[in-house]
Chains A and B, each alone.
Chain A
Amino acid sequence: MNRPLSALDRPNSYIGRSVSRPNAKRLLAGRGRYVTDLVLPRMLHAAFLRSPYAHARIVAIDVDAARAMPGVRLVATGADLAKLCKPWTGTLDHFKGMTSVPQLPLPLEEVLWAGQAVVAVVADSRAEAEDAVEAIVIEFEELPAVVDIDLARAPGADRAAAGLENNLCFHSRLDTGGIDTIFADAAHVVEEEFHFGRHTAVTLEPRAIVADYDCSEGRLTVHHATQTPYQFQDLYSRHYGIPEARVRVIAPDIGGSFGMKLHVYHEDMAVVGLSMLTGRPVKFVADRVESFVSDIHARDHRVRARMALDDAGTILAMDVEDVTAIGPFSTYPRTSAVEGNQVIRLIGAPYRMRNYRAELSVVFQNKVQTSQYRAVGHPIACAVTERLLDMAAAKVGLDPAAIRERNLIPDDAYPCESPTGFRFEALSHQQCLARLKTMMGYERLRDEQATLRARGIHRGIGIATFVEISNPSPAFYGIGGARISAQDGAIVKVTPSGEVRCLISVTEQGQGTETIIGQIVADQLGIPCERVQVVTGDTEVTPHGGATWACRGAGIGGETALQAARRLRANILALAATILQAKPEALTLQDGIVVDAVTGAERISLAEIARIAYFRSDTLPPDASAQLSVAHHYAPQGYPFAFTNGIQGCHVELDVETGFVKILKHWVVEDCGRIINPLLVDEQMRGGVVQGLGAAFFEECLYNDGGQLTNGSLADYLVPMACEMPDIEIGHVETPTADTVLGAKGCGEAGTAAASAAALNAVNDALAPFGTSIAQIPMTPARLLKALGRI
């Protein structure tokens, strides 16, 4: 029993503790308040007529019959909204040469994808609005649809939109030099052409928005299911010419986002204008079919890649070409080029390789826009690197784990830089690999695999190492001219009864943001967790900040809360010292009570300090300053990104008769720095892994040659179900970042980053005895049977 006391034994030491989410209780009781649930007085409902064509010219629109339908209050076309809303263009300055056509809420002359909203109807009920949509007559002149990525780039190709010179949105090249010679002289070269399907977020609550423009005050309130209320406050203000201080965006409970709900959607922008035109609140909730044709899609890459190795299996170089298709324009305001850019910059990142060449082409086509979705670019970079490494292992005659051991950047080699210019502060690849092998029982699994193979049972083992970008600085968007904040702000205050409220700019979508912020504040102040209330998601209430994306909530939001709480603590102790006629250094806070720092003897409660400060300031000396509210901002400093790392393992069984894959088990070892709440981190991992496994086996937005989505319903588009998913075991290594006091990095995307790569390697491992392979995800039964030569 002589275990040394750990930090967790101190009272109120909440950092590192599994705490259940207080705000989950109302969701369990059916008392969540989602935008979908919201009803405002005199609220109207919007529905949209959508383009049946992937690409067409609008010849004529006749809305007379629709205007006369029961309950209809407004029918608005592109021209009506263009009078109010300034167009937007989804480019960033630091992506040199990037181009995209300007967008309006509803199009004026040309529709660019099947499903694009063309005319809006606002009516007393959604059903009436939908009825009236049926009565609109539009004459379209169909134009050639750009669908195929190679045809799109051919000279003289049809263009995806009228304003484009060609279908290239962005092009980028990285080259450390001498690549052709290295490949020519290498002992081993492996190469592959990879295909990564389009998939989409399928948040269980679809996109939802209620815009409420009050003409009497010129004030706009938008209840918006989004991760990033400040970004939208800025956009609504600038595009509709409403002073920022009169725009309020409220993001209440949100039924999933995963990056999907931080982009500008045409319908959402339209709804703001519709509210201005009607002077009444207008609600739009995408139904599931609308979600499929209007939410961003993600991925859609073809990557040709090769890897050169010496005869011992050391990676010498990689050479990569990524062509990714993004729809007819680049998404606003974060663009559709970040994904491809991250693909080419993250490839090979865990390894010692120094020579690298990559070419990225981001291509327009007539499908719905693609943009950032959980683990932006990471799954592609990871799958390409890790699959090539497995192919190399087979060629060199090394075990997949052994070739990684040979090539990983050693844990003692940091800080260091990748050939693509990423700077790594401290990663733990070797430790993670060793831990993963133990957790998996790697050698035993290999033995079992051999035994079972002899009996005609085909199991596969796949591993995949990853790095993940978190805590981004302004290098991500700010330097490109986007008004997207990399800093966060918090107000922490003691209430008159001695409780604490923290109003903070990071937001909650169920990952537990409010819980960890509460833990940090309680921990730093020295008060019980239950006495901290955290408030998020309202631009009128919390300070301006970046909110939640790119795994920045814990790292940047958490540090903001920590620093704010420390300042408040200093103020509390200073005031307590004045009241007690003591020195602040001689006091500390414990369990909500100011105690003697040495003896722990109770001196005065926080509630009593608050009572005196708020109600009996007359009893304080004249120079006493009772500052029981603190506003504090924190912007990331030091490294431009805090990289996290980890490794995943996947164990599958392939039925070679049916092509079905059973995922037997999945493992993750991850290092997200300081862990604030292990329970929440683990569930972020698991949720992320399952989205990655969805991409690996099920999820794909299928289009026909005419640019029509052919599986746009939840009955046709497959998302992972409980019965298909394995148990997922999680292990941790903790390498805190030294850039912050807290030391936390992100963890929300790590699961997704490598799960599909591990699965791809596992399935290929199972296929190996048949002398065949697969380089496309999702790995559907049909594709696997084809690889096996059975169909």
Chain B
Amino acid sequence: MPVAITLTVNGETLTRLVEPRETLADFLRRDLELTGTHTGCEMGVCGACLVMLDGLPAHACLMFAVQADGTRVETVEGLTGSAALADLQRAFHERNALQCGFCTPGMLISAEGLLARKAMPSREEIRDALSGNYCRCTGYEAIVDAIETVARRRAAGEAALPFAEEPA
């Protein structure tokens, strides 16, 4: 039997009926069409499904949508809209820290989570923090470089340049 849940997704509070067996990842992707959240393993290993749940990175594949009742969820779409990830996105773009892009939303959320915990992580700490994010394309180094750059820029108080193009 479908169950009603109420949660805030990307700043919008909504109520939906969900199947008890539906994961949060499937709920976001299918019911809300937020397909920026990906699934690569559906068992909490690859990190492609990471979203911000009450401000902390969480695996959307590992929890049921019903468990997200009452929470605040932010996905890559929402974090792009609010420009929260703009400096990371820009640095990833400049450094070519993505190829196929399938791991990228999860990587950005992991990176954001790391930099919130630790402003100036070492390369080693960045690599450790990314252990739950698989990337099959890049070999990781460019991602580490991009995150390092953002940490430095944030520490220097550089205002994030917008990532999205403004409508003309």
Contact = CB atoms under 8 A, between A and B. Distances in A.
Interface of A: 20-21, 24-25, 27-34, 36-37, 39, 127, 201-206, 253-258, 287-288, 509-512, 679-680, 683, 686-691, 713-715, 719, 721-723, 725, 727-728, 751
Contact of A32 (B101, B126, B163): B101
Nearest to B100: A510
A27 B42 contact: no
Chain B interface SS verdict (over half): loop
Contacts of B138: 683, 686-687, 690
A28 B94 contact: no
A722 B93 contact: no
B110 to A, nearest CB: 10
Interface string B68-109: 000000011100100000000100111010111111110010
B16 interface: no
Contact of B164 (A29, A33, A691): A29
A308 B83 CA distance: 64
Contacts, number: 174
B141 A727 contact: yes
Interface in B95-144: 96, 98-105, 108, 123-124, 126-128, 130-131, 133-144
Given A24-B98, A30-B77, A509-B99, A687 B29 contact: no
Nearest to B103: A204
Given A28-B93, A723-B124, 17 more contacts: A24-B101, A29-B36, A29-B89, A30-B35, A31-B77, A34-B38, A36-B38, A510-B100, A679-B96, A683-B142, A689-B139, A714-B134, A715-B41, A722-B126, A722-B144, A723-B128, A723-B131
A15 B148 CA distance: 29
Nearest to B138: A687
B40 A714 contact: yes
A510 B137 contact: yes
B131 A205 contact: no
Contacts of B105: 30
Contacts of B123: 727
Contacts of B58: none
Given A29-B89, A205-B100, A686-B142, A722 B36 contact: no
Contact of A683 (B46, B96, B163): B96
B134 A204 contact: yes
Nearest to B125: A723
A23 to B, nearest CB: 9
Interface of B: 19, 21, 29, 33-43, 45-46, 48, 75-77, 80, 89, 92-94, 96, 98-105, 108, 123-124, 126-128, 130-131, 133-144, 163-164
Nearest to A287: B42
A32 B142 contact: no
B99 A713 contact: no
Nearest to A18: B96
A551 B163 CA distance: 32
22 contacts: A25-B89, A29-B36, A30-B35, A30-B36, A30-B77, A202-B134, A203-B102, A204-B137, A255-B100, A288-B40, A509-B99, A510-B99, A511-B99, A686-B142, A687-B139, A721-B131, A721-B134, A722-B143, A723-B130, A725-B140, A727-B141, A751-B139
Given A258-B136, A714-B46, A20 B96 contact: yes
A721 B138 CA distance: 11
Contacts of A686: 138-139, 141-142
A39 B45 CA distance: 26
Contacts of B104: 27-28
Contact of A205 (B36, B40, B135, B142): B40
Contacts of A511: 99
A719 B142 contact: no
B111 to A, nearest CB: 11
Output the residue of A206, A254, A256, A258 with the most chain B CB within 10 A. A256
3 smallest beta-carbon distances between A and B, as pairs: A30-B36, A27-B101, A510-B99
Contacts of B127: 722-723, 725
Nearest to A686: B139
Contacts of B126: 722
B117 to A, nearest CB: 16
B35 A37 contact: yes
Given A27-B104, A510-B98, A725-B141, A288 B43 contact: yes
B99 A288 contact: no
Contacts of A689: 139
A77 to B, nearest CB: 28
Contacts of A719: 134, 136
A227 B85 CA distance: 31
Contacts of B43: 288, 713-715
A80 B163 CA distance: 52
B130 A714 contact: no
B139 A728 contact: yes
A680 B138 CA distance: 10
A723 B121 CA distance: 14
Output the residue of A256, A288, A690, A722 with the most chain B CB within 10 A. A722
A27 B133 CA distance: 16
Contacts of A206: 40
Nearest to A751: B139
A715 B132 CA distance: 11
Contacts of B139: 683, 686-690, 725, 728, 751
Contacts of B37: 30
B94 A20 contact: yes
B130 to A, nearest CB: 4
Nearest to A694: B136
A204 B92 CA distance: 18
Contact of B98 (A28, A36, A288, A713): A28
A253 B100 contact: yes
A258 B100 CA distance: 11
Output the residue of B36, B80, B102, B126 with the most chain A CB within 10 A. B102
